[in-house]
Structures are given as C-alpha cells and as structure tokens.
Amino acid sequence: MSKKVYIFLADGFEDIEGLTVVDLMRRAGITITTVSIKNTKQITTAHGITMLTDTTFCEADFSDADMLVLPGGQPGTTYLGGFEPLTDLVKSFYNNGGKIAAICAAPTVFAEIGLLHGKKATAYPACMDGLGDAVKSEEKVVIDGNITTSRGLGTAIDFSLSLISQLLGQEKADQIAESVVYK
C-alpha cells in the first residue's frame, strides 16, 4: 500500500525545498499531494515561479496521511505559520502519533505551536533562535521521534531521502539517491 504525504505550499515557499521533496517522493512511489493554503491552487514560489498545486487545503481530506511536510522560504513560512487550520492539523496529527517534517525556516512553525519543547531540531542558521527551547543541532537532518527538521535548500536532497527512508526503508532511499546520481 502506497504511503501518503501532504506538503503544504504558500506564496513565497522556497522552490527547491518544496519541489525536491515532491520529486524524490514521487520517484520512490510515495503518493505526495501538494496543498495550497489559499483558496486557489495557484501559488507563486519565493523565486517567482507560478505553479498549480494538486488541491487546496479546504478541498483536501488528510485522514489518510502518513506524513505532513512544511517547506521553508519567506514569506511562505510566515503564511504557513499564520494559517490556523494548518497549525491545528499539524498539532492534532502529531499528537495522534503522525510524522511531521519541516525544512529551513519552517521548523519555527513547529516551535511556535509548542511541538519542539525539549526536542532535538535544526533550521536555517538565521532561524535557529526561532526554535525556542528545542535542543538545537547543526546537523543537515535531525530526527527526534516523529519530528524531522532540516537546515535549508542545500540539505533538501538529504531531507527528502531521510523522509523516504522513514516511510519506505533505507534501501529505497538508497535506490532513489543512486537513480539521481546523488551518492
């Protein structure tokens, strides 16, 4: 049975951080759905690329999710963190044992909603203070229980492969890495 992942996009999300996750997960056979937090599927990335998501937040049903992912970038992260239906979903999903992941500035959203208290986490260097009372790390990817965090654009492949490994196993992640000439 295919794993199901939802990645939440807002205007100003970091192109590479969002789309690398989508690309590599799809290569791995994971069903990943891009979700706009706006009332329209049209999103403009941090670098001015206009794209269409698979669905909007209001149209989606997240009951089949195996993982929820937040990409970084600005002002995308600010919009994600300010969208209460999403932060409520993330809190509820995590509190019910679901896996959540964020990269770059987006781990600060997890801190703002109280999920990083005492957890090991990382973020973009300029955003580390936004992790609150998390145990801060400078590793490329940090996994603490069901929370995965990563540093930024330069760690997007490592982040994506870690998520694939968590969902489908290290062998599958290694196959994807080899198929894209990463390792």
Reported as a single tens digit per residue, the pLDDT across 60-118 is 999 999 999 999 999 999 999 999 999 999 999 999 999 999 999 999 999 999 999 99
Model confidence at 183, pLDDT cuts 50, 70, 90, reads confident
**Structure tokens that stand for 74 in this block:** 């600005």
- The burial class, CB within 10 Å (0-12 / 13-18 / 19+), for 55 is middle
Q: By the 8 A CB rule, do 173 and 27 touch?
A: no
Q: Which residues are catalytic?
A: 104
The answer to whether residue 30 scores a pLDDT higher than 90 is yes
CATH topology classification for 4-173: Rossmann fold (3.40.50)
Residue percentage of the chain with pLDDT more than 70: 99
Q: What is the mean pLDDT of the chain?
A: 97
- Please state the length of the chain: 183
Domain boundaries, the chain: 4-173
User: Considering the entire predicted model, what is its pTM?
Assistant: 0.98
